[in-house]
Amino acid sequence: MTTLWSILATLSKLAPDTFRPPGDAYGIQCGVGDEAGQKRLKISAAAVCLDVTIPVIIKAGELGATLLIAHRSPINQPIAKLTGYPYLLFQQIVKRKVNISALHYSWAAVEGGLNDTLAEVLGFNVSGIFETEINGKIIPLGRICQVPKETTLKAFSQYVAKRLDVPALTYTGNPNDEVENLVMVAGDGLTPERLNNAWEKGYDTYLTGMLTHELATQARQLKVKIVAVPQAATEAPGMRRLTQILRVKHPRINFTFIEPLIPYSTFIT
């Protein structure tokens, strides 16, 4: 049988921590932390997910998975006390004895990872890298993409929504304006600093997985169009690809991707 250590070694090659900004959760977050223990622990089933939630942990338990490979860690900062939702979550994790490993920015930034997969799903050719600074470190988080043909913001948004199979998305800008120079960052990859950086480099459209009032206001003043798809829809393709790669790398293990649920509903008038 395959050990936890060998799977973690594969993950470190696929998504090396060289792409990890300081303070970002990476590697084992909960479970067997020492190398000797990881080499002893045999894994027969594992699951891959975006976020570690109670339903995901329950599903992992039903699958018999003793390893859960997540995009985001359930631990983002030191926990002073375990109460409320975190208590309920870790109660389920301990009950089912699930080891949790997170990749986050490392799988998003690496070639062939989250952002490159999203570009492939959308049918966009990647023509460059959009570097961004996170906690003092420059990482190749985003991608510069070529839009297949002359298109308006409205047509572009409709195309993206159809390819990602989402019922609705949010945007800023005039629907009749042309989309010419595109930056794409999967997930919650937009901040005021990154938006300003995109504008300074001449990119007129920013595709990502989030939009706030502050960002929308800034984008309108800079005349940068933002197309915001539900976050999970931008990240799930890359995690599905990771699942497929792991199945090939470790054929004796049953890897299952636990599909994410968008935690909110959209009312379309």
Alpha-carbon torsion, ordered 9, 11, 13, 17, to 10 deg? -100
Q: Please report the pLDDT score of residue 159 as a whole number.
A: 96
**C-beta atoms surrounding 213 within 10 Å:** 7
Rounded to the nearest angstrom, the gap between the alpha carbon of residue 208 and the centroid of all alpha carbons in its chain is 11
pLDDT, one tens digit for every residue, the chain (269 residues): 799 999 999 999 999 999 999 999 999 999 999 999 999 999 999 999 999 999 999 999 999 999 999 999 998 877 888 899 999 999 999 999 999 999 999 999 999 999 999 999 999 999 999 999 999 999 999 999 998 788 999 999 999 999 999 989 999 999 999 999 999 999 998 999 999 999 999 999 999 999 999 999 999 999 999 999 999 999 999 999 999 999 999 999 999 999 998 888 877 77
CATH 3.40.1390.30 occupies which residues in the chain? 2-107+235-257, 108-232
- CA dihedral over 196, 236, 98, 103, signed as positive or negative: negative
- First vs last C-alpha separation in the chain: 54
CB 223 within 8 A of CB 179: no
Strand partners, 163: none
Q: Please report the pLDDT score of residue 136 as a whole number.
A: 94
Helix (H, G, I), strand (E, B) or coil at 187: coil
Q: Please report the pLDDT score of residue 149 as a whole number.
A: 80
Tell me how far CA of residue 184 lies from CA of 118, 208, 259, in angstroms: 9, 6, 22
Task: Give the CATH superfamily of 108-232.
Answer: NIF3 (NGG1p interacting factor 3)-like (3.40.1390.30)
Q: Please report the pLDDT score of residue 266 as a whole number.
A: 79
Distance CA 242, CA 260 (A): 15
Task: Give the CATH superfamily of 2-107+235-257.
Answer: NIF3 (NGG1p interacting factor 3)-like (3.40.1390.30)
Q: Please report the pLDDT score of residue 230 as a whole number.
A: 95
Model confidence pLDDT, tens digit, residues 197-218: 999 999 999 999 999 999 999 9
Q: Please report the pLDDT score of residue 262 as a whole number.
A: 82
* Cα 19-164-154 angle, rounded to 5 deg: 110
Phi, psi of 124 (to 5 degrees): -100, 140
CA neighbor of 205 nearest in space, from 236, 163, 159: 159
**C-beta atoms surrounding 97 within 10 Å:** 10
Query: In sequence order, which residues have a C-beta less than 8 Å from that of residue 244 and are 6 or more positions away?
Result: none
Q: Please report the pLDDT score of residue 236 as a whole number.
A: 98
Query: In sequence order, which residues have a C-beta less than 8 Å from that of residue 92 and are 6 or more positions away?
Result: 54, 57, 58, 61
Query: In sequence order, which residues have a C-beta less than 8 Å from that of residue 260 and are 6 or more positions away?
Result: 49, 50, 51, 232, 235, 236
Q: Please report the pLDDT score of residue 265 as a whole number.
A: 83
pTM of full prediction above 0.85: yes
Q: Please report the pLDDT score of residue 264 as a whole number.
A: 82
Model confidence pLDDT, tens digit, residues 109-120: 999 999 999 999
**C-beta atoms surrounding 181 within 10 Å:** 18
